[in-house]
Structure 1
Amino acid sequence: MKIRRWYWPAVALVAFAGLVFASLGIAKPAPQAGAVTQATKVTLQLKWVTQAQFAGYYAAKAKGYYTAAGLDVNIKPGGPDITPEQVVASGQAEFGIDWLPSLLSSRDKGSDLVNIAQVYTRSGMTELTWKDSGIDTIAKMRGKKVGNWLFGNEFELFAALVKNGMDPTKNKGVTIVQQPFSMDLFLQRKIDSASAMTYNELAQVLESKNPKTGKLYQLSDLNVIRMESVGTGMLEDGVFVRGDWIKDSKNQATAKKFLEASFRGWIFCRDNLAECTSIVLKNSPILGKGHQTWQMNEVNALIWPSKQGIGVMDQRAFTRTASISRQFGVIKKLPSGAFRSDLAKAAVKALKAKGQDAVGAKWRKASVKVTAGGK
């Protein structure tokens, strides 16, 4: 093999430099480590489409909180044909977001999924009826057409109906109508009652024009029956993972980092409603600025204040959700091992050490103006 002529002088120079460093007692400069550490890639499967319901996660990504934690987070929107539990159980995502009753139902059927953070501390589920219908209680829904989206969203409503002597699973005493993901059936009065989240479908009704007046509908036109008020409110959006995945210590460290960054995103959204709404809008939600602003405000109300720190499961609330689920047939037996709070507590502790308010005791809802069509 030929050796280029400049090679031998170069070797001699390197050797000479080594002798000089050695004679002077100076260590040779160590090679620099790579400036960029490989980020841990994880996927988060949302319960539903892009909207302010998930603003904290989008904020954590946009503000660089995930990156700072060494994470590369892929946020996957959900939809009517996507079940987060199935996505996570199959290994297509490390983290999922869904309501606790849906998670418990999945576990009851044999899945190995574990809630590691309960972000929403109270239920946003309601049933809407028209004020002039006279249907202002669950009991008065007997013999009526009651709408719900189903696909795991029905448990709070079904529990309330069973509590009042009806069997929605067999259409006994009430007729369940599968509600589309719009409020058209309700606005057209084709159903007597419609399921509505405080942060979404309620706003859709208020953003619609009353054909009789030509003006937007008002809260005074509606009966808003909250599942919390009828005693069947259940815990909703929480973060879950596979049980076998979280047993690994490396994955526990990843999960703790993910939760800390996500919680910081939610804290940002609590304290910066307008900017956080803008972050959501940059991710192309279906509905506009007015609707997302309303939603951000109402979602904050389901999280804050968080007495034990954001994401830490309230044992009493969990027990209530599990008991109602069992009493009304959502699950066959009371669950064990369905959640763990150590990772959320560790994340909250880390945030507090960095001066972050993870409780939000002084938070108050803002006044948000309803806009036509949510624009």
Structure 2
Amino acid sequence: MKKLIGGLMAGALALSASSAFAQDALTLQLKWVTQAQFAGYLVAESKGFYDEENLDITILPGGPNIAPEQVIAGGGADIIVAWMAAAMSAREAGVPLVNIAQPFKRSGLMMICPTESEVTEVADFPGKTLGVWFFGNEYPFFAWMNKEGIPTDGSEGGVTVLQQSFDIQPMIQGQADCISVMTYNEYGQALDAGYGPDNLTIFNYTEMGNDLLEDGLYVMEDTLSDPAKVDAYTRFVRASMKGWQYALDNPDEAAQIVVDMDDTGAAELAHQRYMVEEVSKLVDPSDPALDEATYDRTVKALMDQAIIKAEPEGAFTTAVTDATN
């Protein structure tokens, strides 16, 4: 009997020890495909920073047919990377998303117009066709046009909006007079194609004061009532920012990690290296907290355009970033 009891106790202790060291599992849904836009998370996973925080992280790539807001609403992710406009729109539609951290402090969004478009200022837009991404990416553009008082329905004095592919082909093929690009992605494609400041008019959303918050981290509101979940989120953010710092300090290695972690084989090393360099201008790895002034400006722009109808309440929390220090 003593042997049996001893065996049971040993088994119980082993089970207890196993539970104590069991990693907390979290699934992160990216906004887009595996690329250096998400280098901090990919590096944190590759370098073991999540393991150091006792986390088991699954990173899901996004794509043109994947809406992170829908994925988390359906229970397919614990945390998503999303632009605030899309997240606030989803929140108003009944998906209670809450921003827990904001690694990207500045917008990477621009609109570029080649010389042949004869666009040199905003006043030249009426009558032109402008390429815009949709699936939640269109909100900053429409907020900008609303601010300028330019109709977007193709009417006289307005612009025609082309639902743009996620590349620069609409500009090269002459389908649009101007197109949307990200500083860290499509603009690099334009440079490779022979375009640049000498033959482009560039409208930088940040420089114009029209930037809306982009890649933030969002969770479902009800999960924040669970202290254990909040603790896991805190460890996730802390490890992720460590990943961002490492990526920006070691851009060559970070680019290689991105390429290695891309299961599709589409990521090209030189382009990912360019992306890391450009993303470094947008991310502050030392401060994951949401800037409330920028949040307020983003919300105002969304309300002015009626993208959201009411000012959101409880749409962000500082509990996670306050605890990462």
TM-score (norm 2): 0.91
* DSSP-derived class of the 2:198 partner: helix
SS of 2:261 mapped into structure 1: coil
Of residues 246, 249, 254 in structure 2, which corresponds to 1:268?
A: 246
Q: Distance in 1 between matches of 2:270 and 2:199?
A: 20
Structure 1 gaps, min length 5: 1-10, 19-27, 209-215, 350-375
- Are the counterparts in 2 of residues 60 and 66 from structure 1 also a CA contact under 8 Å? yes
Partners of 1:81 and 1:239 lie apart in 2 by 20
**Cα pair 2:72 2:78 within 8 Å, conserved:** yes
2:187 is the counterpart of 1:202: yes
Structure-2 residue corresponding to 1:352: none
Shift of the 175–31 alpha-carbon distance from structure 1 to 2, 3 Å rule, reads closer
Q: Is the 8 A contact 1:147 1:178 kept in 2?
A: yes
In terms of Rg, which structure is larger? 1
Shift of 1:31: 6.3
1:249 CA drift (Å): 0.9
- 1:176 equivalenced with 2:176 (yes/no): no
Relative to 1, partners in 2 of residues 1:163 and 1:62: Cα closer, same or farther, differing over 3 Å? same
Alignment of 1:297 with 2:264, yes or no, is no
Contact 1:136 1:225 in 2 (8 A): no
Report the equivalent of 2:85. 101
What is the CA–CA distance in structure 2 between the aligned matches of 1:136 and 1:324, rounded to whole Å?
24
What is the one-letter code of the residue matched to 1:301?
A: K
CA drift at 1:270: 1.5
The aligned residue for residue 354 of structure 1 is none
Distance 2:215 2:145 in 1: 22
**Matched residue of 2:58: which SS?**
strand
**Does residue 329 of structure 1 match 2:306?**
yes
Aligned to 2:207: 229
| d(CA) in 1 for partners of 2:64, 2:73 | 18
Q: In the alignment, what sits opposite 2:287?
A: 310
Residue aligning to 1:243: 221
- In the TM superposition, residue 138 of structure 1 has moved relative to its aligned partner by 2.6
1:68 correspondence with 2:68: no
Q: Aligned pair 1:156/2:140, yes or no?
A: yes
Supply the distance in 2 between the matched residues of 1:152 and 1:47 (Cα, whole angstroms): 10
Pick the aligned partner of 2:67 from 83, 94, 118. 83
Contact 2:258 2:267 survives alignment (8 Å)? no
Task: Tell which deviates more after alignment, 75-84 or 131-140.
Answer: 131-140
Q: Which moved more, 1:52-61 or 1:133-142?
A: 133-142
Per chain length, whose mean CA-contact separation is higher, i.e. which structure has more relative contact order (CA < 8 Å, sep 6+)? 2
1:282 aligns with 2:260: yes
| Contact kept in structure 2, 1:160 and 1:230, CA below 8 Å | no
Contact persistence 2:127–2:154 (CA under 8 A): no
Provide the rounded CA distance (Å) in 1 between the counterparts of 2:114 and 2:164: 16
RMSD of aligned residue pairs (Cα, Å): 2.2
CA distance in 1, matches of 2:306, 2:124: 22
Q: Unmatched 5+ residue regions in structure 2?
A: none
Instruction: Return the offset for 1:148.
Output: 0.8
Q: Match for 1:296: what amino acid?
A: V
1:34: Cα distance to partner?
A: 4.4
Aligned to 2:318: 341
Q: Which amino acid counterpart does residue 289 of structure 1 have in structure 2? A: L
- Judge conservation of contact 1:139–1:161 (CA < 8 Å) in 2: no
Q: Is the 8 A contact 2:102 2:217 kept in 1?
A: yes
Shift of 1:36: 8.5
CA deviation digits over 1:221-249, x for unaligned, max 9? 21111112233211100000000112111
Q: Secondary structure at the match of 1:302?
A: coil
> 1:266: Cα distance to partner?
0.5
State the match for 1:368 in structure 2: none
Q: Distance in 2 between matches of 1:141 and 1:35?
A: 61
Contact 1:138 1:160 in 2 (8 A): no
Does the residue aligned with 2:34 lie in a helix, a strand or coil?
coil
Per the normalisation by structure 1, the TM-score is: 0.79
